[in-house]
A and B are shown apart, each in its own frame.
Chain A
Amino acid sequence: MDIQTLTLTLGDSTHAGRTFDVMPIVGEEPVLQVTVSGAEETPVYVTVTDTQILCLAYLFEEQELLPQRVNELHENMLRLSVPMPLSSLGKTGDHYVVYGALSPTSGTAEIMQELVTLAENAIDLLQTFEDYLA
């Protein structure tokens, strides 16, 4: 699966009643911004490497958090990361992210499932962790 194929396929597909709005992100790396219908607020970014298809959504930035509650938040994020379907929690730069990695041999159905789940998880997580925001 490469970015071009993914762009063409997602634009025309529906999965579990969702449609996908795909926009390439300009730059050196092949990155797509995918907006899932019904979860437009949390776009999912997709990049394909030799070893994986990486999908990630931004949650919040470090400076948006209440400093005195950061440890508690981390603890809760670690605990939720395990049971959350198809998604893990992580941090890259200052961004806290929810992400999922798929095998490059994954089919469109798996990728769409991942995208929908990730966008919905991002919304649930934002609402769950709202109290930790400054």
Chain B
Amino acid sequence: MRSVLNKILTAMRGSVNELGEAVVDSQGNRILEQELRDSEQELKQAKQELAALMAESASLARQIRSEQDSANKREQDARKALTAGQEELAREVAERIVGHERRGSELTQTREILQQRIAGLKERVQRAEKQLADYRRELQVVKTNERVLRTTAQIDTNINSQQSSLSTAKETLERIRERQAREEDRQTASATLEKELTGADLDEKLKAAGIDGEQDAIDSVLARLKDKPAQ
């Protein structure tokens, strides 16, 4: 990832950015995409192999258990034969037990080797998955970067074909200020209109002229109270 980011930065500092030319050349892109496909393929194979090995290991575990069960069962048989004084028969059963135990331990060995291969393969799958995520992230950065450059180049061409040039930030700011002033005027006008409609403006004028309805009312109540003092 770091190499991709560095490539982009290096190219950006150069002169290629004006036309939105591919910053990482399309050849580089194809290589990245090929690497991605290879990783995907490797991951798929590793997973298939892993599944097969795990199935084999499970089957071996089943066989080992079966040999152990048989050996256990025969051991009981042998004990019974010994109790019944059938030494010969017990020996024959013991031979069977040895057979089961030998097969059991052979299978266990095979399974242990298999388990090691499974562990190794699991590690490979994890590595491949991480690698794949890295490639995808890199490719996304590269593609997004190209897209942004192409898009801005397209916007600029378009704006330039409609106007003599792209308007400068100062011109934009001027237009913003004009609109904001218009909006303010509109707000002031509508506030004035509202005052007129509710009579609030008249009250303000009367107050300014020293004619205050509220004050008059208070004064008249006070006068009334003074006329009729408490008994």
Contacts and interface: CB of A to CB of B under 8 A. Distances in A.
B154 interface: yes
B147 A47 contact: yes
A25 B149 contact: no
Contact of B176 (A29, A58, A60, A123): A123
B144 A28 contact: no
A126 B176 contact: yes
Contacts of B17: 92-94
Interface in A36-58: 40-42, 45, 47, 49, 51-52, 54, 56, 58
Given A49-B143, A64-B169, A133-B170, A92 B152 contact: yes
A31 B175 contact: no
Interface of B is mostly: helix
B179 A51 contact: no
A126 B154 contact: no
Nearest to B172: A41
Contact of A92 (B148, B157, B175): B148
A17 interface: no
A41 B179 contact: yes
A110 interface: no
Contacts of B144: 49, 51-52, 54
